[in-house]
Structure 1
Amino acid sequence: MTLTFKARDVPDGGMHTFELGEQKVLVTRDGDEVRAFDALCPHAGADLGQGVRCGARIVCPWHHATFHAGDGSLIEPPALEGLKQYRVKRDGESLSVELNEEIKPPAPRPSHDDHHTVIVGGGAAGFMAAQTLRDGGYAGKVTMLSAENRAPYDRTALSKGYLGGRRPADRLALGGADWAQDNDIDLREGVKVSGLDRDAREVQLGGETLGFDTVIVATGATPNTLNIPGAELGGQYHLRSFHDAEVLKAAAQGKNVVIIGSSFIGLEAASSLAQSAASVTVIGLDAEIMGRAVTPKVGRAIRKLHEDNGVKFHLDARVTAIEGSGKAEAVCLKSGESVRADLVLLGIGVKPNSGLLSDLANDRGAVPVNAELLAAPGVYAVGDIALTPTVLGEMRVEHWRVALQEGMTAAQSILESSGLEPMDRRVPFFWTQQHGKSLRYVGHAESLDDTHLWGNLDELEFIEFAFKDGLAVAASGMGMDKDLAAFEELLRLGRAPGADEIRQGAFSLAERLRGN
């Protein structure tokens, strides 16, 4: 199939999506330079033409994967690969793209032949580190030690698509079912790492030691537990691993489910289980749901979405005990109320698994690293354990996209890549999906004391900004994807709008990004 168009159909310095039958082609133009790519983001299929372009960066409107406008290469996850690029031909004023003429990216020059990188952890950060090493030409040995008896998988899908039956188990694997074999990764599953000797450059596996030149510690986090009467009873679940989700999904069918915790994991699980459980009740310690990320008025609007789908809530409520005979049968609240429970899901936060680097960690278990994720010579700390510099300052972030960013950065640092994008130039971002609606959150706000909202909460089409020292440092929203993608780029560039300007009334952040 052939796409034909005129150069003037694409704005200079911009991009445009063309439809060709059932396919979509994204075309970028910079003066006389015109390039063509697959228009659908390889992460979740969003039309990239509905996103934003910022210089050489093409930003996906949904989950903010970012690609290079010159060659389609991956700049920012959660996509795991770049875009297919097609050859563009010129005939006078007309341009054409043949979809069977793909431009293959040049193979990277092999490097680090006699090098060994050990990755401790098989989650998002560890996976992305291994993938980036191989994509960048790393020819040495890569060993991945995973505590789970499973190859790396998309953990975000557990509480979203998998529990709700929309994403089967065989579609969870990151990189495909044969990823480790295809990329020559020595993946060891079900492995417990007992120690790390930084001076000897050895990882200890019980009776075995494994030498390394560099080690990437990506050990993740462990869910918090309750310390109340009845905490030992059966029928209580966490949602951290595939095994957790598999057991919970089967157990919740037709049952009265009580979720303790009113933040993202608990609410995503409530959304997913609402169709299969007999009832779903969420108990939250705060006065409104998602209280650390959004203001009460936004929380109320999203809670109404849940309530319209049958989810019940007990908020500003403290759990004092779990009651039952051998297994949980009721959750007791400080108010004296008792909530019937056939099973209980605990969504009360996590603590970082920083034991291998405990001498480097702070009193909260976070391991300080530099902008390239180095915690010590030859030792990288990534993911949930890392206290990382960002454009908004140093922070430990537990979100999926940030973990992927950190894995990519650590690998690029090992490769001494000319394309290294250090973490202090990156912006935190996450998303949550509940009852078919997506809330996206850009940046980070320590406080919600100073905020302003654009849009309509009743229609769930809004952006809520949070300010610090008169500048926007975070924005969350629904239904305004292009502007949120633009806001991330503005934060990255140090051009975020001020509180006074935002309060004057809504304007296009995408236009602001273009300099208009």
Structure 2
Amino acid sequence: MSGRVVVVGAGLAGAKTVEALREGGYDGRVTLLGAEPDRPYERPPLSKGYLTGSEERDSAFVHEPGWYAAHDVDLRTGTTVTALDLGARDVVDDAGTRTGFDHLVLATGSEPRRLGVPGADLDGVAYLRTLPDSDRLRAALTRDRRVVVVGGGWIGLEVAAAASGAGAHVTVLVRDVLPLVGVLGPELADLFAGLHREHGVDLRTRAEVAEIVAAGDGTSVGGVALEDGTVVPADLVVVGIGAAPRTALAEAAGLHVEDGVVVDQHLRSSHPQVLAVGDIARAAHPLLGTHVRVEHWANALNQPTTAAATILGRDEPYDRLPYFFTDQYDLGMEYVGHAPHGGYDEVVVRGDLAARELVAFWRRGGRVVAGMNVNVWDVVDDVQALIRSGAVVDRDRLADPDVPLGSLTAP
């Protein structure tokens, strides 16, 4: 198939899109544009293995340096796209160069939400999104350093675990009653709170940051002032209060944007020649019956195959269930499914919650809508099959470790 595909955003989603095009037999021109100077890399190692020192820097890169040239992909790093001219089917970059396309794939990802309090621009206030961010944090997480993490989401807790493992004195400030309560609900969020406290982290809930306080030099961080008047001493403040999809280009071009770029199950946007993948894609999900936007590695890894198939004229809707994972201290976890706040009736636990060896199931109307395995392995396929089956499952059998998961989908 001839023509030209331009992919904007050279992260994992962008790199996997060009890979899927070539593997799918696309023989037209392919251009991959990325604002960062590095070739495409994956982000999980930035807060996990690379940050903790258990993985090398090169392990984060999606492809070897010569892969793009070998597969006739025009990779342009250090190139910021400033506009999409959909009428002319051109992408305009910061040098004024116009690159034409027959199909355009937006893979612009997300960016950290900024902390909007006085002192947030002091030296020593850090965010984690890019490889250079991780380089700087890795060097800064040293023994006896006073590290304050603002935010109790996945990134914040993974950074806290890495800092604690490096011997730093770690405080985590969470606005909610528990970290991750918006994702896991109160039934499971306490598991992670206890995990961090057992490793010496000073985890403070219902904590509202009022100001980042300067040290004696007036330019660097000295502490974090809370609204209750408490000041937490700090040499380094890491902000992890969520991310926002980078949709400015799509909005300016007139695409349908609503908590991300709205796309159908084939990842086509409101313009039929423009697709979106990864963090920015709010995709119609044929199994879940709703639009879903997921800021996790698995979407960036897997959606590009569907995008490439759509460009190649194949009917292959994206129907993978949302999936994410985390590694913190000696805890490993995988989550699959979709159980938003208010979207489930109860959580059923199979295993030992106190020992943190379990599989948890979120149920709605007797059906499993999501599952999470903690330090229990090789069950994700069975959990996915259970969710996809839509079977009404007996609660006692679901909770019984002696009942094989695979048998629960049987009539």
Tell me the TM-score normalized by structure 2: 0.91
| Aligned-partner Cα distance in 1 for 2:106–2:86 | 12
Q: Give deviations 1:211-254, integer Å, cap 9, x for gaps.
A: 01111000011110111121222211111110111111112323
SS in 1 for 2:181: coil
Matches within 5 A, 1:297-316: 297-316=187-206
Aligned-residue CA RMSD (Å): 1.9
Q: Deviations over 1:171-217 (max 9, x none)?
A: 22112232212322111001110100112110011311000111100
Greater gyration radius: 1
1:261 aligns with 2:154: no
Is the contact made by 1:466 and 1:474 (CA closer than 8 Å) also made in structure 2? yes
Deviation, structure 1 residue 330: 0.5
Q: 2:364 aligns with which of 459, 462, 468?
A: 468
Q: CA deviation at 1:297?
A: 4.5
Letter in 2 for 1:462: L
User: How far apart in 2 are the matches of 1:234 and 1:180?
Assistant: 37
8 Å Cα contact 2:279-2:295 kept in structure 1 = yes
Q: Is the 8 A contact 1:125 1:406 kept in 2?
A: yes
Aligned counterpart, 2:118: 229
Is 1:490 the counterpart of 2:396? The answer is no
Letter in 2 for 1:457: L
Note the C-alpha offset of 1:116. 0.8
TM alignment of 1:200-349, pairs within 5 A: 200-206=88-94, 207-254=96-143, 255-324=145-214, 325-349=218-242
Deviations 1:89-121 (A, max 9, x none): xxxxxxxxxxxxxxxxxxxxxxx2x31110000
Cα–Cα, structure 1 residues 362 and 138, in superposed 2: closer, same or farther, change >3 Å? closer
Find the residue that maps to 1:273 and give its secondary structure.
helix
Describe the shift of the 1:127–1:499 C-alpha distance in structure 2 as closer, same or farther (beyond 3 A): farther
Partner of 2:299: 402
User: Aligned partners of 1:501 and 1:300: how far apart in 2?
Assistant: 23
What's the offset of the Cα at 1:470?
3.5
Residue in 2 that maps onto 1:48: none
Greater than 4 Å deviation, 4+ residue runs? 499-506
The 1:240/1:503 distance shift into structure 2, 3 A limit, reads same
Match of 2:320 in 1: 426
Structure 1, gaps ≥5 residues long: 1-111
Query: Which amino acid letter does the alignment assign opposite residue 113 of structure 2?
Result: N
After superposition, the C-alpha distances for 1:373-428 in whole angstroms (9 at most, x for unaligned) are 000121001111111122222111111101222111101111234xx5411x2211
Q: Structure 1 residues 173-182 or 504-513, which shifts more?
A: 504-513
Which of 321, 326, 337 lines up with 1:443 in the alignment? 337
Please identify which structure carries the higher strand content.
1
Question: Would the alpha carbon gap of residues 502 and 127 (structure 1) be closer, same or farther in structure 2, given more than 3 Å must change?
Answer: farther
In structure 1, give the amino acid aligned to 2:150. Answer: I
Structure 1 counterpart of 2:211, one-letter code? A
Residue by residue over 1:458-492, the C-alpha shift from the partner in whole angstroms, topping out at 9 and shown as x without a partner, is 22111222223432211112133333321112323
Q: Is the partner of 2:207 in helix, strand or coil?
A: coil
Asked whether the equivalents of residues 152 and 180 of structure 2 are also in contact (C-alpha less than 8 Å), the reply is: yes
Q: Distance in 1 between matches of 2:120 and 2:256?
A: 29
Residue 161 (str. 1) matches residue 49 (str. 2): yes
- Could you tell me whether the CA contact under 8 Å between 1:430 and 1:441 is conserved in 2? yes
Query: Contact 2:345–2:364 (CA<8 Å) still a contact in 1?
Result: no
User: For each residue in 1:331-386, what CA deviation from the matched residue of structure 2 results, as whole angstroms up to 9, or x when unmatched?
Assistant: 1112222111101111000111111111324453x111011100012100111111
Q: Distance in 2 between matches of 1:397 and 1:379?
A: 19
Task: For 1:280 and 1:451, locate their aligned partners in 2 and report how far apart those are by CA, in whole Å.
Answer: 31
Structure 2 residue identity aligned to 1:196? L
CA contact (8 A) 1:374 1:381 kept: yes
Matched, 1:415 2:312: yes
| Aligned match for 1:123, one of 3, 11, 14 | 11
How many angstroms apart in 2 are the aligned matches of 1:475 and 1:258?
31
Residue 384 (structure 1) aligned with residue 279 (structure 2): yes
Aligned positions of 1:98-117 closer than 5 A? 112=1, 114-117=2-5
Contact 1:482 1:510 in 2 (8 A): no
Higher helix content, 1 or 2 = 2
* 2:381 alignment partner, SS class: helix
Q: Which amino acid aligns with 2:25?
A: G
- State the aligned residue count: 398
SS in 2 for 1:200: coil
Matching residue of 1:44: none
Q: CA deviation at 1:259?
A: 0.6
CA distance in 1, matches of 2:394, 2:48: 34
Indicate conservation of the 8 Å contact 2:368/2:386, yes or no: no
Deviations 1:261-319 (A, max 9, x none): 11101111111222224312111111112112223343223333223323221112111
Letter in 2 for 1:411: A
Corresponding letter in the other structure for 2:384 = E
AA paired with 2:55?
A: R
Partners of 2:313 and 2:355 in 1: how far apart? 48
1:26-65 C-alpha deviation (Å, 9 max, x unpaired): xxxxxxxxxxxxxxxxxxxxxxxxxxxxxxxxxxxxxxxx
Mark the CA change 1:338 to 1:512 in structure 2 (over 3 Å): closer, same or farther: same
SS at match of 2:183: coil
Structure 2's unaligned 5+ residue stretches are none
